[in-house]
Structure 1
């Protein structure tokens, strides 16, 4: 098995979920005592979050590129970024390393198309929902029509991510907020919903949603393991 390099820490709560999923899928695929060979580099989310608020995507790209280079020097054969939002600067990562980089939207887009979904709702940070780096890739590569919540719902989704989930706080009241937002997307014609922030998997499970759930964290981790196994 090849070695998966993970840029984590955004937040560490979801990065720990990545670690669990990588190893669980490796064991499912290979059996016995197998784990996924991996390296995890945890960045300091405080500086990342500050640069996000400031809109300094150039600095963020440099931070992600530096982390990717460290992973490659450490022996990573593949690099993944354990966050949806920071894929805004994925090109900086790709240009900084010689090993492959697995974009988080690609396993999700492929899974949606395989399921016959054409119109999908997207939940994530305000950056992911409002900027085009994510929805554009889904449209251009997978032909998906992506719906995002209205402004008030986007504010609620974003606030819960940063103020609660990034700190490990999983509240029933916030789950009900997300369920309401998903219902609004369904009413607008969404056939499924993307959990487009790696923390949302801590709050919303398939049984919590009126729409089929496509969890980017789980799909990304599974695709990385499949690549590392190489079959």
Structure 2
């Protein structure tokens, strides 16, 4: 098996999901006594939360590049970032190492394209929902994306940052997300993209009115493929 480097801490709740499901994915494929070879660096989220200015993003870029280089030096054969938002600077991080970076948006776009999805809505943190980098990456895979709702984006952002990133799951937020998804399903879209690695804590991808493409699940599957040598 190939060893993978996981940049985590963005948030710890998301990192826990990645660690658990990378191991479960390997076990499912080759046996329950097996574990995934993972090098994990969990960063201090205080330095990476709610970035808004170019200076803050430059600081984050330096932190993640250093993390990626440490993981490569420690023997990782590929990298994963356990957060959608930090893929805004994925190109720069990938350019600073000689091993591949498994990109969460590319993996999701490939899956949507393979399934013949032509239109989708995206929900996640505000920077993922509202900034062009995430949406433009998905559009490259032949998708038409529904416009975001600003009030909904703010409410989802608060749920992610104030609750899910602290490992809190409330019934009130679960109901809120169910209402949002029901409203989104009334739009002319074929699927919903869960573009926050924590949202799966509230939303069951297998039990919704729309087909749900969970970026965490798709990204983890790509990681398992890499570990087991099924990816080039």
TM range (shorter): over 0.9
Aligned position for 1:214: 213
- 1:97 is paired with a residue whose SS is coil
Aligned position for 1:126: 126
Q: 1:213/1:91 Cα in 2 relative to 1: closer, same or farther (>3 Å)?
A: same
Q: What are the within-5 Å matches in structure 2 for residues 9-88 of structure 1?
A: 9-49=9-49, 52-55=51-54, 56-88=56-88
How far, CA to CA, are the matches of 1:64 and 1:18 in structure 2?
Answer: 17
- 1:218 is paired with a residue whose SS is helix
- 1:159 paired with 2:158, answer yes
Given that 2:130 and 2:148 are in contact with CA atoms closer than 8 Å, whether structure 1 keeps it comes out as no
User: Aligned-pair distance for 1:208?
Assistant: 4.9
How far, CA to CA, are the matches of 1:75 and 1:96 in structure 2?
Answer: 15
Given that 1:64 and 1:92 are in contact with CA atoms closer than 8 Å, whether structure 2 keeps it comes out as no
Aligned pair count reads: 229
Q: 1:222/1:207 Cα in 2 relative to 1: closer, same or farther (>3 Å)?
A: closer
How far, CA to CA, are the matches of 2:205 and 2:216 in structure 1?
Answer: 13
Structure 1 segments unaligned to the other structure (5+ residues): none
1 or 2, which has the higher helix percentage?
1
How far, CA to CA, are the matches of 2:147 and 2:74 in structure 1?
Answer: 38
Q: 1:28/1:178 Cα in 2 relative to 1: closer, same or farther (>3 Å)?
A: same
How far, CA to CA, are the matches of 1:96 and 1:212 in structure 2?
Answer: 36
- C-alpha root-mean-square deviation of aligned residues, in Å? 1.3
- 1:107 paired with 2:107, answer yes
**Moved runs in structure 1, 4+ residues, more than 3 A?**
none
- TM-score, normalised by the number of residues in structure 1: 0.95
Structure 2 segments unaligned to the other structure (5+ residues): none
Aligned position for 1:93: 93
Given that 2:13 and 2:166 are in contact with CA atoms closer than 8 Å, whether structure 1 keeps it comes out as yes
How far, CA to CA, are the matches of 2:136 and 2:129 in structure 1?
Answer: 11
How far, CA to CA, are the matches of 2:59 and 2:73 in structure 1?
Answer: 21
Given that 2:69 and 2:97 are in contact with CA atoms closer than 8 Å, whether structure 1 keeps it comes out as yes
- 1:63 is paired with a residue whose SS is helix
How far, CA to CA, are the matches of 2:207 and 2:160 in structure 1?
Answer: 17
User: Aligned-pair distance for 1:20?
Assistant: 0.6
- 1:204 paired with 2:203, answer yes
Render the CA deviation track for 1:12-58: whole Å, top value 9, x for unaligned.
Answer: 001001001100111111124111111110000011116x1445211
- 1:101 is paired with a residue whose SS is coil
